[in-house]
Structure 1
Amino acid sequence: MHPVCKSATRPRNLVSSITTDQGIVHYEVYGRGKPVILLHGWLGSWGLWQETMAYLGKYYRTYAMDFWGFGESGKKRETYAIQDFVGLVNQFMEQLGISRAPLVGHSMGGTVSLSVAIRYPERVSKVVVVGSPIVGSSLAVPLKLAGYRPIAFMLFNMMGVFRFGVRAASPFICRDERFPAMMDRDLSRTTVESFLLSIASLRRTDLRPMLDQIRIPAMGIYGDRDIIVNPKQWQPMQKGITHAHIERFPLAGHFPMLEEPLQFSEKLKAFLDRDERTRPRKATSATLNTSPTPSVTL
């Protein structure tokens, strides 16, 4: 689940869209320098990244897009599979003249980022995943159930009850008190098709057999208190990408960028700043950061 952070500083630069072969795609861009592309997750939008963009935009030109079916992008597709979003990222980069860039993805967006790095390796210079499922079976049971058509239609027909359930579970999902309002905004922008088909595709995904194809620098960020995706999904990531750098946030859940915004942004920037020409290191105790991270009040 991925909210719009309404009270964060909205990047003040270009608000725009592109026309793809499958409809309009909304994006926002902020800052100057080398490009970095940020991808949201299921039920989300570009707004998840507002605080991250405000920080990174001082050093990089940050792009945050809305996937088809979410946020302000078009919603007239018949399919919303992970591979559809992989193709969208390639089209997005092609149309904006971005030949190669780091991809940073949250939850489903991280699964998409890894898939882009596998399918279009020439496009991706670095890849970062945040609370992302490597294996779809790691999703929480309610999310897996939402990928079945009868349940998805029932939830949409009982949206008031569904939203009440989200609000009741919010303290366990994200410590940010703005979270319920954020979710309401993003839920209002989804359709039953994008709701159902994207999570159904994610549930069936298993990237483990392909991870060894990723040779670029890779980073996984996981909150130990995540109840949306199994927080131990960093393990199959590191097993498949042996040079991957792992950062764990012991006090955060599925949204470390909201619960620990400064620590998150600093660690992300440090990874992006590393010389791309440096050969990836083998995983050591130094590459697995499990030290407690101080809580930052939003």
Structure 2
Amino acid sequence: MQSTEVSTHKHALTTVINSSSQTAAYLDIGSGPPLLLLHGFFGEKTCWLPLIELLQSQFRCISLDMLGFGESSQPQIQYSVAVEVAFVRQVAEQLNIEPCCIVGHSFGGWVASAYALKYPNSVSSLVLAAPAGIRDDSFCGQYDALRPLLWQTPAVDWALQLAKPFASLAGKSNKLQQISGWRRELMAQPVARSFLISRMRPEDAVDTVEKEIHKLQIPTLVIAADSDETIPLWHCQTYANEIPGAELAIIPNAGHGLPQNQAQVMAKLIGKFLNN
């Protein structure tokens, strides 16, 4: 889909979160039953375009930049799943699309399931693609060495620049480029930085959903990637096992970027699930 086409489908509305006005930016493409699309942790609304191209003839696809992402407001607040749920709620109410199907990828799957738990009558069905939100203490401590990337000081950027010749001599240039990329993403996205800072220890994982999702009575499809480097397969299996009647589809030879890299497979799975 060309950028000129995308721009004609861009919209924004004003929400009120914690008594402050915030802008919600979204794409609105296609016609039919509404699908509300929630992106992943380092994503934004255009991540869904490959999937939207395949679904827009059957569904009205509303792809939202969640609070702190993309062209939506990026207030300097402490972000939480509850804050994102409140933001999504305002958008869904203003667009008058409830009940609707919510499709969430990774972090968006976490927000979608938390939203469905709080507003079960506002969600007709759930599609959770490699969803985050399952407590996993093995994550804690895994990235301790990367904590300096969260520091808001130019000294970190200077250190990365100074490290370039040494990384080149050691054959680690690609690794340094990856770390520098993470740094840029973390500095550009207040949500990512806020979440990582507030969830460094196992006891900080207080808003995961694995203890609550058994309460859901909403038709749910869980889509997993069997070679996911970010969300372990057992997280997806936990969702599928705990949500009554949930379906689990595992895409072989697939990594975490499902909406971008597995759009055709996802479109077929979603179409079949919703048409049934």
TM-score (norm 1): 0.74
Inter-partner Cα distance in structure 2 for 1:14 and 1:207:
33
* Alpha carbons 1:42, 1:199 under 8 Å: kept: no
Question: One-letter code of the match for 1:20?
Answer: T
**Secondary structure in structure 2 of the residue aligned to 1:58:** coil
Inter-partner Cα distance in structure 2 for 1:54 and 1:33:
14
Where does residue 263 of structure 2 map in the other structure?
261
Match of 2:9 among 8, 14, 20: 14
- In the TM superposition, residue 113 of structure 1 has moved relative to its aligned partner by 0.4
Inter-partner Cα distance in structure 2 for 1:255 and 1:244:
22
**Secondary structure in structure 1 of the residue aligned to 2:108:** helix
Inter-partner Cα distance in structure 1 for 2:135 and 2:154:
22
Larger radius of gyration between Structure 1 and Structure 2: 2
Root-mean-square deviation (Å):
3.3
The equivalences for 1:279-294 within 5 A come to none
Q: Structure 1 vs Structure 2: percent identity of aligned residues?
A: 23
Question: One-letter code of the match for 1:54?
Answer: E
Where does residue 283 of structure 1 map in the other structure?
none
- In the TM superposition, residue 54 of structure 1 has moved relative to its aligned partner by 0.9
Inter-partner Cα distance in structure 2 for 1:245 and 1:198:
29
Q: What CA deviation, in whole Å up to 9, does each residue of 1:156-192 have, x standing for no partner? A: 86469599648659xxxxxxxxxx8xx99x938834x
Q: Which 5+ residue runs of structure 1 have no aligned equivalent?
A: 1-5, 170-179, 275-298
Aligned length: 254
**Secondary structure in structure 1 of the residue aligned to 2:126:** strand
Label 1:24 to 1:189 Cα distance change in 2 as closer, same or farther (>3 A).
farther
Inter-partner Cα distance in structure 2 for 1:21 and 1:200:
25
* Alpha carbons 2:65, 2:71 under 8 Å: kept: yes
Inter-partner Cα distance in structure 2 for 1:240 and 1:147:
33
Where does residue 92 of structure 2 map in the other structure?
93
Inter-partner Cα distance in structure 2 for 1:234 and 1:151:
29
* Alpha carbons 1:226, 1:252 under 8 Å: kept: yes
Question: One-letter code of the match for 2:208?
Answer: D
* Alpha carbons 2:227, 2:252 under 8 Å: kept: yes
Label 1:143 to 1:216 Cα distance change in 2 as closer, same or farther (>3 A).
farther
* Alpha carbons 2:110, 2:132 under 8 Å: kept: yes
**Secondary structure in structure 2 of the residue aligned to 1:73:** coil
Question: One-letter code of the match for 1:79?
Answer: Q
Inter-partner Cα distance in structure 1 for 2:25 and 2:91:
10
**Higher deviation after alignment, 201-210 or 96-105:** 201-210
Label 1:50 to 1:139 Cα distance change in 2 as closer, same or farther (>3 A).
farther
Match of 1:194 among 185, 191, 194: 191
- In the TM superposition, residue 197 of structure 1 has moved relative to its aligned partner by 1.7
The equivalences for 1:13-32 within 5 A come to 13-22=8-17, 23-32=22-31
Label 1:166 to 1:272 Cα distance change in 2 as closer, same or farther (>3 A).
farther
- In the TM superposition, residue 99 of structure 1 has moved relative to its aligned partner by 2.1
Label 1:58 to 1:78 Cα distance change in 2 as closer, same or farther (>3 A).
same
- In the TM superposition, residue 194 of structure 1 has moved relative to its aligned partner by 2.0
The equivalences for 1:215-254 within 5 A come to 215-254=217-256
Where does residue 109 of structure 1 map in the other structure?
108
